Structure 1
């Protein structure tokens, strides 16, 4: 049985217990692989509600430190250049090319009843994804992702909630 657990600081547990809010354990078990094609090396691609719209082909990338929005989503949300704020730092694409962002925009991402606002860097570059969500979103949601299990798990209302990846969308 494979188990991955999120380490929790003892002080965090004690302070939450003192407040009467036991934090659920975030773990991945073999049963979490049910419904996935195994073995695989697939990326974790999910559907999320971004800016009030259901958005498919969103890559969960825990190795990235910025959320990125690509042209399809930018156009689909009917955003305009004046909706963006300046973002001057260039990004490096998957191919190693330098990409100059068009700007950034703060938008809500809703998962279930939980809403987290993140800053998306808008780029004009091709991608098979509509957006990338990264460590800022994962950390704000207090989430843990697993490409092996094709899931994102996060604590909410005393329970473990999850976002399930779509391997067909990935392929």
Structure 2
């Protein structure tokens, strides 16, 4: 899947038109797989800057309708119950069980020079991951992720930037979960 984005020519007398010479494509090629450990079917696990700290073991999940924060990150960021707002919608775990919710918190997530405010649902269950970033976060900066290529790509100004996954961390998390 690729999304094409075109820089726009500005003119006061004419409608806006796309310049065809500076095409930015937000997609993946076979060469994006260079450097991956083969064979693999690893989750996409990255490091993101959350709340001003570099946070490791963040799983990117296109199937998640929420951004989730686990207890290790909650305590590691020195957050307190007073920092949380109520969150009352039910949440079901991977195993199909209801999850105990502590609440919701909004924190800045930085990728490159872009910073977006993200709502995290704070849960009280064990996970080898520190957080799960789902579609709400991916869609905010217009990011596209690929587990096959172990990357996230997003537009920043007039360039396509990427975040590379950490397969070793993904495998460690898998072992810890089992």
TM-score, normalised to structure 2, is 0.86
Distance in 1, matches of 2:23 and 2:89, equals 37
1:16 Cα offset (Å): 3.6
Distance in 2, matches of 1:23 and 1:144, equals 17
Deviates more, 1:35-44 or 1:138-147: 35-44
Provide closer, same or farther for how the CA distance between residues 126 and 162 of structure 1 changes in structure 2, counting only shifts above 3 A.
same
1:110 Cα offset (Å): 0.3
Residue correspondences, number: 163
Q: Deviations over 1:97-126 (max 9, x none)?
A: 101210000001001101111100000001
Q: Deviations over 1:64-93 (max 9, x none)?
A: 111000000000000000000000112111
Distance in 1, matches of 2:152 and 2:62, equals 11
Q: Deviations over 1:121-146 (max 9, x none)?
A: 00000111000001111111101000
TM-score, normalised to structure 1, is 0.89
Q: Which runs of 4+ in 1 moved over 3 A?
A: 19-23
1:23 Cα offset (Å): 6.1
What aligned pairs does 1:25-44 form with structure 2 within 5 A after superposition? 25-44=25-44
Unpaired runs of 5+ residues, structure 1, are: none
Match of residue 142 from structure 2:
142
Match of residue 99 from structure 2:
99
What aligned pairs does 1:64-143 form with structure 2 within 5 A after superposition? 64-143=64-143
Distance in 2, matches of 1:147 and 1:75, equals 29
Structure number with larger C-alpha Rg: 2
Q: Does the 8 A contact of 1:66 with 1:133 survive in 2?
A: yes
Pair 1:169-2:166 in alignment: no
SS in 1 for 2:73: helix
